[in-house]
Structure 1
Amino acid sequence: MAQNAPLRYSPLAVFLVSLAPCLTQAQSEQDAPTTFSAQTLEVQSSADASAEGLTPAFAGGQVAEGGRVGLLGKQDKMETPYNFTNYTELLIEDQQAASVGDVLRNDPAVRVARGYGNFQQVYLVRGLPVFSDDMTYNGLYGMLPRQYLASEFIQRVQVFRGANTFLKGAAPGGSGLGGAVNVVPKRAPNHPLTQVTTGVQSGGQGYAAADVARRSEDGRYGLRVNAARRDGDTAVDGESRELSMSHIGLDYRGENLRLSADLGYQDHLMDASQPNITIAEGVAIPDAPDASESVAQPWTYSESEDVFGTVRGEYDFSEAVTGWLAFGMRQGEEQASFANPTVNSPNGDYTAYRFDNTREDTVTTSEIGARGSFDTGSVRHEVTVSGSAYKLESDNAYAGTFGGISGNIYNPTNEARPAYTYTGGNLDNPGLTEKTRLSSLAVADQVSLLEDRLKITLGARHQRIETESYDYSNGDRTANYDESDITPSIGLVYQLTTSFSTYANYIEGLQQGDTAPATANSQPVSNAGETLEPFTTEQSEVGFKFEQGDLGGSASFYYSRKPSAEVDSDNVFRISDYQRNRGVELNAYGKATRHLSVLGGVSFLDADVNGDEAIGSPDTQANFNLKYDVPALPDLALDSRLIYTSSQYADSANEQKVPSWTRLDIGARYLVPMGDDRLLTLRARIESVAGHDYWASAGGYPGEGYLTVGAPRTAKLSATVDF
């Protein structure tokens, strides 16, 4: 097992800890309204310090009616020209979801994959990756642990479908071109909360968590504290995991001023976890190995430790003008040892090499903005101006071997850990290898006409991307990049009735251009080392949304074009082609009947690169969730989730076809009143009921087609007591 490296806590973390005692006046014994001057206001928890508070849950409680849409702030889903879904805390709890990836398995436009050569969660939205370190936390980039985020931090998970640089700024890791993921942290509700949960899952892994929240008697101050521990073997024989997390969420609501703050800590260790598996060129995709037995070498591991914090404030200068300011900081440390197999024959024989790395990140990020509304005749304007800044300094080192490991994925054997044959930097004291700075300024005008039935969103963002790379061994600068671009957007939404809206948008994504290689086809590249200007992904989308009574849904059609570069016949590295994604998405949510809730839909995707399908882009994905409240037993709820993913390719030439797969999950929740305002909630769940072995994903990093093994049949049991 890996040993923790000392963690150097950030100044922001120390500040937030010192701030906590000032706000722990939250000792409310009742859910009382707050009185400001002559007005009575019901307090609503607000992680982003907005006046609107948390958007209400829709019928069925699994998704919310709206959410944050980047610099535009809180938006009702029916009144915005963009496509998104907010999954709620109730859904997370009932499904016993352990991570963001578990939550996103409910979305038909998303599939969960892995990072290149590591265990980082990657979310493929509309066929394009969102790296887990490109998620936002209350709208701020870079705050969350890079590879995995425990669900105990989360009150809402928002999936935004489509390019989004105008709304959110360019993602620091260069992903997010097909969508975005935003996490909303927990806040104190209006009522006191004291909750303890224990659980166990297949393999014997134990789980314990506590969730405590209070508001002050006048409701202005809120405090919520979460802590959780997972430890033990998993349903995969030979694999074990440990996770420790804690979180403090604070908020204050005054008449004109609202404040919010977070302090979080997470330590995540994975031992001998199922690795990524690459199938060598020319080898047909073999059957997936036994999902319940790890192919990993027993000495492989990955550990990451992070501390992060944010502060956010919003102030009403007048009834028409509101300004906000946010700041965040994260310090993270990672260390890992990998031996990911490359299968060289149809019978499953593989070779592998050892690769170890250490990484230390320091991230600071900030946002400032103002929003004002005014009328010009019968036209209503809401103008927003926002600026953001992001800075990453990353220290890295690595070491490894050239080969030295062999085996078979169907008959795993343990190999001795080989000694290093090459190194880059000092694993015990990594040096600075990367700096990234992002800065942007955005302006938007939301125009309302025809008695607010027609809303037009106009805007643009000027984005600057600066990166520097340094040699692992001597620290010399090896590359420098400083480019900028403007990404515009226009969106229209028209409410045909109170229940139906049509919408259309044009929006772009932005990422740093690729760097020319030194050679190609055994010939020198004439512009070797040159990094191209930022790549712009263009997207257009049309669709409609409906919310009729307790049932809602949407239908959309989109087209996006993402540049790709390669060396041409003149040995010049330049943009040579585009990945063209065309898709149709159908979604439904809410209550189909009094006792039956539905959630899910189907996504059709055509991801074309020069006439071939893009790696890891299934043409059909479907998710169907049903939750049934049993009428004869009102305290019992049953649920099921069916996930279908069609075949996909693991190579750009479309010669390695990965079969389709289907997975069924089932669960139950039973409420047991215990008297004295205490409630026991029992939950049981079986995931991958049939226990089939399958390849869950192909790729996750551009140009790479490595495979991940689907999870085995896994049973989960938990008990929650509310005091």
Structure 2
Amino acid sequence: MAGVNGSAVSVIEIDRVEILSGTSGFLYGGGRVGGAINYVTKSPTNAPLRRLTFGNYGGTQFYGHADISGKFDNRGRFGYRANLLYQGGDTAIGEPVDQKVANVVLDWHVTDTLYADIKYTYNDYSKEAIQPFYYMTERISIDTSKRYSPKWTSNDIESHKAYTSLRWDPSKYFTLRSAFFYQDTRMRVNQISLNQQVDRTFIPVRISNSPWEKHENYGGYIYLDTRFSTFAVDHKLTLGYSSTLYDYFVRGNGPVSRSGTSLSLDELKNLPEPDWGASFGNEPLSSVWVDRYDNVLIGDAITFNDQWSAMVGLNYATTANKRGGFYGDSSYEKSALTPSVSLLYKPIEEVTTYVSYMEALEKGSIVGNTYANRGTVFPPLVSKQYEVGLKYDISPNLLLSTALFRIEKANQYSDLATPIPSYVQDGLQVHNGVELVLTGKVTDNLTIMGGGTLMDIGVEKSNNPALEGKKPTNAASRMGKIYAEYALPWVPGLSLTGGIYYTGEKYADAANTDKIPSYTLYDIGARYTTRVLDKALTVRLNVINLTGKDYWQNDYTLGTPRTVAFSISTMF
């Protein structure tokens, strides 16, 4: 699915996901405190790749995926990669899904020091009978294994995305890297929002309908890395600029609301489709808001000796927004000079300790269509993060890390007003916490990825004294997870997998009267790799939410039901 701004990344174009902690993400172009998620997309392989995968995502959602890659020439200068996916059928709760994705990559090693690529992704996605949003007066358990929406509710997306990158290493002292992307997304969403009544029935207070709307995303960066030494101190200095632009177009008056009589959840599935009338107007698309985010940065990764190193940097960030049309005319532009600094010390080769501080200018959030003040853009704020931590390489393949941190950021929440709530920004969320993470191979056969976080969270500097000291909405104080793979030594090629994921209780409302219960989810699976007709063959089976736990992902969204997925991959 696409995000609220129309941006989307398909699973088949991702090679791996990198988690960048706060200061390590700084040299990638500013960003947010707490770090960033970097999707590394697929590139052509040096060796020929021909892989077919057939599988099922759960329910009757069968899919086929082809991944083909290699080089056009004997010298390996020109490469290609193509990923094609078709998915169709119903989810585990009977939501019809249809998806077609095509991802094509071409790259060119122009010289030994100059590399360029171009990538294109087309995604056509449709999902019917999407689950409603729930606004609760009494937090109850709802059976997540059932579908409650009529089929005419839907989420339809068509996206075209092109992106290109260039890297030039003229010498061992200099690297120039740049990239640019453009994404055009058309979306249409019909979704029901429900208000719970005292008798535990629900009134559909909003049936959001969006005629096809358009989202355009542009972005790019250019960075110069230089490596040099001053006396015995080594430097990697980065200078750069990055920018993103988002433009939102819509027809007519955008989403509309409809009210209805009180219904049970079982009756909701038979709710007739409203007469949308003029909401499907033929008016031309018009821009209703534009977001811009720019960064100019300088950063230096400094190595004093084998034990001491540091990273210092400054980012001059500018965020701007302009609204118009039915959202009303308004605009803002704010700039801030935000620092990042980290000091590292290695008492022994296997241990790294660090202390860091960073700030980030975060753009104002855009209120979504499920709220009465939809389209409101909150003012930008500077968020802060303090952290001290330790990383211990227990072995070459096993890493233990721990950290104490404090994060200060804007506090945002639903006011739960009836019949339709508004989204509010007021005060600061303060997260004081500790985390512990262990990843890697414990033995030759056992691999684990696990961790836990404990936080003391609260609201400060609120305009409403009643909110002071309350916990932010949708933020759990305790979280933990462990995922493990065990390769059975007596059955070559067979690995058993499993995971346990815990999320502590949290609150749905700013006054902390609506408590969302904690939950623990269990996944199990198996993977078997062998060779058939001298070709690699891999069979996977996974059961998600093994116990069928009913839970709330957040204040208005149900959790994922028990889902059985499987796939078979083979080379050809």
Both proteins in one fold, TM over 0.5: yes
- Does 2:49 align with 1:193? yes
Q: For residue 507 of structure 2, what is the aligned residue in structure 1? A: 649
Letter in 2 for 1:593: T
Question: For 2:25 and 2:379, how far apart are their aligned partners in 1?
Answer: 16
Give the alignment of 1:532-547 within 5 angstroms.
Answer: 534-547=380-393
Measured after TM superposition, the shift of residue 198 of structure 1 is 0.6
Instruction: Give the equivalent residue in structure 2 for 1:84.
Output: none
Deviations 1:173-217 (A, max 9, x none): xxx454422111111233211000111244211110000110242
Q: Which of 93, 114, 120 is the matching residue for 1:257?
A: 114
1:510 pairs, out of 361, 365, 372, with 361
- The alignment status of 1:371 with 2:225, answered yes or no, reads yes
For residue 317 of structure 1, give the secondary structure of its aligned residue in structure 2. strand
**Identity in percent:** 26
Q: 1:450: which partner in 2? A: 305
In structure 1, C-alpha distance between the alignment counterparts of 2:301 and 2:59, rounded to whole Å:
53
Per-residue CA shift, 1:12-63, capped at 9, x if unaligned? xxxxxxxxxxxxxxxxxxxxxxxxxxxxxxxxxxxxxxxxxxxxxxxxxxxx
Q: Is 1:464 the counterpart of 2:318 in the alignment?
A: yes
> Pick from 634, 655, 670: which aligns with 2:492?
634
For residue 321 of structure 1, what is the aligned residue in structure 2?
174
Q: Distance in 2 between matches of 1:623 and 1:631?
A: 26
Gaps of 5+ in 1: 1-118, 122-130, 134-144, 516-528, 567-573, 699-705
- Specify the code of the residue in structure 2 equivalent to 1:483: K
Q: Give per-residue Cα distances to partners, 1:505-543, cap 9 Å, x unaligned.
A: 11112124589xxxxxxxxxxxxx998863111111110
Question: What letter corresponds to residue 401 of structure 2 in structure 1?
Answer: S
1:13-412 pair list within 5 angstroms: 146=7, 148-162=8-22, 166-169=26-29, 176-215=32-71, 216-237=73-94, 239-253=95-109, 254-279=111-136, 283-287=137-141, 289-345=142-198, 347-357=200-210, 358-397=212-251, 398-404=254-260, 406-409=262-265, 412=268
Shift, 1:716, TM fit? 1.2
* CA distance, structure 2, for counterparts of residue 206 and residue 565 of structure 1: 39
Q: Deviations over 1:492-517 (max 9, x none)?
A: 122222221111111112124589xx
1:612-644 alpha-carbon deviations (Å, 9 max, x no partner): 111011111111111010000111111001111
Give the Cα separation in 2 of the matches to 1:273 and 1:638: 33
- Note if contact 1:165-1:461 (Cα within 8 Å) is conserved in structure 2: no
Q: 1:225 to 1:532 in 2, by over 3 A?
A: closer
Distance 1:411 1:665 in 2: 32
1:297 Cα deviation after fit = 2.5
Number of residue pairs aligned between Structure 1 and Structure 2: 541
Please state how far the C-alpha of 1:310 moved relative to its aligned partner.
1.1
Question: Structure 1 residues 709, 683: closer, same or farther in 2, change over 3 A?
Answer: same
2:40 partner amino acid: V
**Correspondence list, 1:680-695, <5 A:** 680-695=537-552
Counterpart CA distance in 2 for 1:346 and 1:380 is 69
1:599–1:565 Cα change, 3 Å? closer
Q: Deviations over 1:128-187 (max 9, x none)?
A: xxx7x5xxxxxxxxxxx53x533111101122344888444466xxxx454422111111
**Which amino acid counterpart does residue 404 of structure 1 have in structure 2?**
G
- TM-aligned CA distance change 1:600 to 1:428, over 3 Å: farther
SS in 2 for 1:299: coil
**1:594-609 matches, cutoff 5 A:** 594-609=444-459
| 1:482 aligned to which of 319, 333, 336 | 333
Unaligned runs of 5+ in 2: 367-374, 414-423, 460-467
C-alpha displacement at 1:576, in angstroms?
6.7
Report Cα offsets for 1:634-676 as digits up to 9, x if no partner.
1111100111111111001000011111111111111231134
Alpha carbons of structure 1 residues 325 and 387: separation in structure 2 relative to 1, 3 Å = same
Which of 406, 423, 429 is the aligned partner of 1:559?
406
> CA 1:295/1:575 → structure 2, altered by over 3 Å: closer, same or farther?
closer
**CA 191–165 in structure 1, closer or farther in 2 if over 3 Å, else same:** closer
Give 3-state SS (helix, strand or coil) of 2:198's partner.
coil
One-letter amino acid matched to 1:213: S
Q: Which residue of 2 aligns with 1:713?
A: 562
Query: What do residues 525-583 of structure 1 show as CA deviations (whole Å, max 9, x unaligned)?
Result: xxxx99886311111111011222221121011101124599xxxxxxx9973211111
What CA deviation, in whole Å up to 9, does each residue of 1:317-371 have, x standing for no partner? Answer: 3221121222111111101111121212363434332111132122221211211
Q: Which secondary structure state, in structure 2, belongs to the residue aligned with residue 338 of structure 1?
A: strand
Please report the TM-score for the alignment, with normalisation by the length of structure 1. Answer: 0.71
Question: Partners of 1:534 and 1:646 in 2: how far apart?
Answer: 30
CA distance, structure 1, for counterparts of residue 22 and residue 231 of structure 2? 34
Q: Take 1:413 and 1:296, find their aligned partners in 2: how far apart are those partners?
A: 5
Distance 1:406 1:427 in 2: 33
**TM-score of the superposition, structure 2-length normalised?**
0.88
